[in-house]
Structure 1
Amino acid sequence: MRSGIIGVVAALFVVGAPVAYAQQSPSSPGNAPESGQLSQTDFKMLTDIRVGVIKAALQLTPEQEKLWPAVEEAIRARADMRYRRLASLRERMGQARDIDPVQFYRQRADVLADRAASLRKLADAWQPLYQSLTSDQKARLRLVAIHAIEGLRAAVENRGMAMDDEDDIDSWDLPY
């Protein structure tokens, strides 16, 4: 039990690293030049860390290990989709502001449908593994998930405050 607690505490420290990295200011070392955005390599590294933290926190049995590859693949697929979606958004934000509201709604619907499908695949991949977890493993998974969600919320709030400080925020007038 003691090693389990130590593992979870270590996992929480590792989960905090990507959040702290994501919260760095655009001029911080390690961020992509000029844009303040993570490079694809950095994004993949953070995904590797997240996957490692989850797996370490779960302390899977040999039988559960057989169910892990589907979960890991679904996590990585969602992360890759997220990176491509953010890159596409950055590209569109840099283009002219002549926005067709109907086209915007259709594109948004397509993005949401893709995200829903990927989330369903993730849930489907997790289901067999989750059902095999002990109550201790489920508690550790909840602890890691709660910490990750709180870190994400803080990162979003920090990003929002940084955006409020920028003068060009008014140019984001989107028809929605």
Structure 2
Amino acid sequence: MKKIVTLAAAALIAASGTYAVAQGAGPGGPGAGQERQARPERPRMSQDDFNRFVDARIAGIKAGLRLTADQERLWQPVEAAIRNNASERFTRMEQFRANRDQNRQLDFMQRLERRSTFATENAQRTSALATAMRPLWDSFNEDQKRIAPRLLQQAVGGMGWRGERRGDRFHGRDHDRMGMMHHGDRMMGRGPGMMQQGGQPAQPQNPQ
């Protein structure tokens, strides 16, 4: 009997040790934190990198649309609007990074005013693109009209295109897609007084 008890105790100790090792290596264990800290930070996108990304995006859109010679002329204002909007989003991203610490100190009203500024600028960019796009759109055949929204979705993602399709979550996830350049609400930060997507004050979370 004593031998059985001894063997059971040894098995329990061994199992406890195995659990501790597994927990340390799991997602929430100390090992995971050390691994995250050791992970090298991704290099920031330079202006040249971003320009290449935009060039590739535009080339893909044109290839997918299969523009005619007459449509090539109508495409030029659209391309200019896409490039201008992308450049403005990149500039905003760089400014936000440079002022990250200062942005964290903004109070509720300052964040609300900044959100209003973002919305106004976003509306202006959308209007400029729509004005440039209308003549080209009117020249499209049915096949081009079918494929154009999918091709252009990423290019206009930072201007609320995907937001409209998701219930007016206006400043969604761009900043990567090209949308990564404009993390609207995420740029607001987190904490008391922050804004949720859609313009509503964030509700305080109860501690678990």
User: Normalization by structure 1: what TM-score?
Assistant: 0.62
CA displacement, residues 128-162 of structure 1 (integer Å, 9 cap, x when unaligned): 10110111222232343468879x78x68xx9xxx
Matched AA of 2:193? P
1-side partners of 2:105 and 2:40: how far apart? 30
TM-superposition CA deviations, 1:80-138 (whole Å, max 9, x none): 11111211222232337322322221122112101110011011111110110111222
Identity %: 32
More displaced stretch, 45-54 vs 133-142: 133-142
- Runs (4 or more) in structure 1 with deviation over 4 Å come to 145-150
* Distance (Å, rounded) in 2 between the aligned partners of 1:43 and 1:174: 34
**What does residue range 16-165 of structure 1 map to in structure 2 within 5 Å?**
27=40, 32=43, 37-95=44-102, 97-145=104-152
What secondary structure does 2:193 align onto?
coil
- Whole-angstrom distance in 2 between the partners of 1:147 and 1:99: 31
Distance 1:81 1:147, change over 3 A: closer
**How many Å separate the matches in 1 of 2:63 and 2:130?**
20
The alignment's TM-score, normalised by the length of structure 2, stands at: 0.54
| Unpaired stretches in structure 2, ≥5 consecutive residues | 1-38, 163-172, 181-188, 195-208
Shift of 1:59: 1.2
Aligned letter for 1:75?
Answer: I
Q: Does 1:175 align with 2:193?
A: yes
Q: Secondary structure at the match of 2:96?
A: helix
Structure number, greater radius of gyration: 2
1:98 aligned counterpart, secondary structure: coil
